[in-house]
Amino acid sequence: MSAKKNATSSRRNFIRQSSLAVAAIPLTQLSCKQKESVKEPDGFEFAFLTDIHIKPEMNAPKGFQMAIDKVNEMNPDFVLTGGDLVYDAMRGNQKKCESLFSLYQDMSKGFNMPVHNCVGNHDLFGIYEESPESEDHPDYKYGMWERYFGKTYYSFDHKGWHFITLNSLDVTENKRYKTVFHDEQMEWLKKDLEQVDKSTPIVITTHIPMICARSQLTGSKGSPNVTNSSVVFELMENHNLKLILQGHIHWKEYGHVNDRFHYIIGGSIAGNGWKGRRHNTKEGFVSIKVKGDDFTWEYIDHGWEDERIRIKKEEGSRA
C-alpha cells in the first residue's frame, strides 16, 4: 500500500474514532461546557427595594417577607434599599422606634446576600415637634439609624462598578425634614470621587429624588427633588455616572438624560401604607442586571397585592 493510501486510511480511522468518542460523552457534559463558554465573568445582578415602611400592623411583616423570599429566589449579588425602612421614627418615642428598627434589622437578616441601606425621612428619629425626645437625645435625627446601620452616606465597589449611597435629608428650624445634601457629605463625596477612575461606572442611591417628573405630571406646587442635587451633578461631570436609584414617591419612573445617565424611581414595597397601590403603582422592587459597562432593569411584582386582597376577602368572610 502506498504512503498516500496509508495517510488517507489513518485520517479515516482518526475521524471515525473521534466521532465515536464524542458520541460517548454524555449530553449533560456538552451542555455544561456550552454554558461555561457563554457565561459573562464581569456580569452581576442586584435588587433595589425602597419604601418598605415596616411596622407590626397591616400584615407588613408578611408583605416584606414575600419580597425577601422573591429576592432570595432570584439570588442577586446584593440588595440596595432606598430609604423609609420603618414607619415611623420622625415622631419619636424611643421604645416604639427601637422596636421598628429591630424588626427591620431582624427581618433583613433573611436576605441570603449583603444588604446596603439608605436613610429615608421616616427613618429620622424624633425630628418632629410632637416627639417626646428633644434634639439633645443621642438618637436624634441620624443617631438611631447610625446605631443600627452605620454611616448615612458611604460607598463600595463591586466587580468594577462604584456604588455611592447618599443621605438626602436634614431638619429645618421648625422641626420638619428638608431635602438637601449637607456640606459635610459633599466634601466627603468630592474626596471619594478623587479615588475613582474616570471610566468606572457609578451608581448613586438616594431616598429623595435628585431628578423626576412628578411636579410636571401632577401640577404639584412643591418639588420632591433634592434642592441642591446640581452640586452632585457638577461633581459627576467628568465621571462615568450610569444610574441614579431613588425612592420616596412610591411610584415607578425611568429616564435617560441626554444619552449620559439613567435614573429610576423604584416604586415601593409598602404601596399606600400597606393598604394598596399608591399613585396606581403596584407594590414591587427593581431588579438590575449588569453586563460589562451597561445594564438592564425590570420591575418585579413580589405578589403582595394579590395576597393582600386574599387576606381581606378571608377576613370579610369570617366577619
Asked if the model's pLDDT at residue 304 lies above 70, the reply is yes
Q: Is 155 found in the same domain as 199?
A: yes
Asked if the model's pLDDT at residue 49 lies above 50, the reply is yes
DSSP bridge pairs for 291: 294
What value does the mean pLDDT take over residues 258-272?
97
Q: Is 299 found in the same domain as 163?
A: yes
Residue 37 pLDDT grade (very low, low, confident, very high; cuts 50, 70, 90): very low
pLDDT at 104: 98
Mean pLDDT of the chain: 89
**Rounded to an integer, what distance in angstroms lies between the CA atom of residue 68 and that of residue 82?**
15
Q: Is 173 found in the same domain as 290?
A: yes
Cβ contact 69:283 at 8 Å = no
pLDDT at 222: 64
Query: Exposed, middle or buried by CB within 10 Å (0-12, 13-18, 19+), for 203?
Result: buried
Residue 42 pLDDT grade (very low, low, confident, very high; cuts 50, 70, 90): confident
Question: CA distances (Å), 65 to each of 19, 29, 60, 97, 99, in order?
Answer: 53, 38, 8, 20, 17
pLDDT at 224: 79
Beta strands in 151-300 (DSSP E): 154-158, 161-165, 169-171, 177-179, 201-206, 240-246, 252-257, 261-266, 285-291, 294-300
Domain total of the chain: 2
pLDDT at 4: 39
pLDDT at 21: 36
Asked if the model's pLDDT at residue 32 lies above 80, the reply is no
Asked if the model's pLDDT at residue 133 lies above 90, the reply is yes
* 183 assigned to some structural domain: yes
φ, ψ for residue 201 (rounded to 5)?
-65, 135
Q: Is 258 found in the same domain as 131?
A: yes
Beta strands in 61-144 (DSSP E): 78-81, 115-116
Q: How much is the pTM? A: 0.86
**Rounded to an integer, what distance in angstroms lies between the CA atom of residue 176 and that of residue 63?**
29
Select from 228, 241, 83, 230 the least CA-distant residue to 153.
Answer: 83
Residue 59 pLDDT grade (very low, low, confident, very high; cuts 50, 70, 90): very high
Which residue in this structure is represented by grid cell 433634592? 226
Q: Is 303 found in the same domain as 186?
A: yes
Cβ-based neighbours of 192, under 8 Å, separated by 6 or more? 155, 164
**Rounded to an integer, what distance in angstroms lies between the CA atom of residue 45 and that of residue 297?**
10
* 319 assigned to some structural domain: no
* 103 assigned to some structural domain: yes
Query: Domain with 291 in it: what CATH number?
Result: 3.60.21.10
* 20 assigned to some structural domain: yes
Asked if the model's pLDDT at residue 297 lies above 70, the reply is yes
pLDDT at 217: 86
For residue 154, the enclosing domain spans 43-311
Beta strands in 68-146 (DSSP E): 78-81, 115-116
What count of other Cβ atoms lies within 10 Å of the Cβ of residue 43?
A: 13
Cβ contact 207:246 at 8 Å = yes
What value does the mean pLDDT take over residues 60-88?
98
Q: Is 106 found in the same domain as 27?
A: no
Classify residue 121 by its DSSP letter. Answer: G
pLDDT at 223: 66
Residue 40 pLDDT grade (very low, low, confident, very high; cuts 50, 70, 90): low
Query: What percent of the chain is predicted at pLDDT more than 70?
Result: 86
Q: Is 111 found in the same domain as 22?
A: no
Q: Is 131 found in the same domain as 253?
A: yes
**Rounded to an integer, what distance in angstroms lies between the CA atom of residue 313 and that of residue 244?**
39
pLDDT digits (tens, 9 = 90+) for 237-254: 999 999 999 999 999 999
Asked if the model's pLDDT at residue 287 lies above 50, the reply is yes
pLDDT digits (tens, 9 = 90+) for 192-238: 999 999 999 999 999 999 999 987 888 776 667 999 999 999 999 99
pLDDT at 216: 84
